[in-house]
Amino acid sequence: DHVMGLGIGNELELLYTLGNRRKVAPVTPQCIKELWAGGRLWKQFKATAAEFDDLGFSSVPLTSVLGGYALAGSPFVNTMKSQVNTFVKQALGEYGSRFVFTFN
């Protein structure tokens, strides 16, 4: 009764900017390619949503928190490094109004 939503990912459109600044797990160009073009984000989003549904939360809204850079496209940024528009289309196609927009 008190769950507002499930956020899967936070400002992933900016992940490519981290590069080697993350010493524990550097963000490589291959990582970014796999995340977006390789479909890893979409597969993980669906898997996490399914786990949440199995716990009885199938009516709770789903989101991936976006930052301001996500708005740098029409309507969302969609480059090889940040395929937000593609992701949003997939999420709306799969989850309809259950997918909601959240911005930091």
**Degrees (nearest 5) of the Cα angle 85, 54, 91?**
10
pLDDT of residue 24: 79
pLDDT of residue 88: 98
Phi-psi region for residue 39, left (φ > 0), alpha (ψ -120 to 50) or beta? left
pLDDT of residue 76: 98
- Mean pLDDT split into 10-residue runs, the chain, 104 residues: 94 92 84 97 98 97 98 97 98 99 96
pTM over 0.85: yes
How far apart, in whole angstroms, are the C-alpha atoms of residue 30 and residue 27? 8
What ranges do the domains of the chain cover?
6-98
If you write DSSP's letter for every residue of 59-77 in order, what string do you get? TS-EEEEB-GGGGSSSSS-
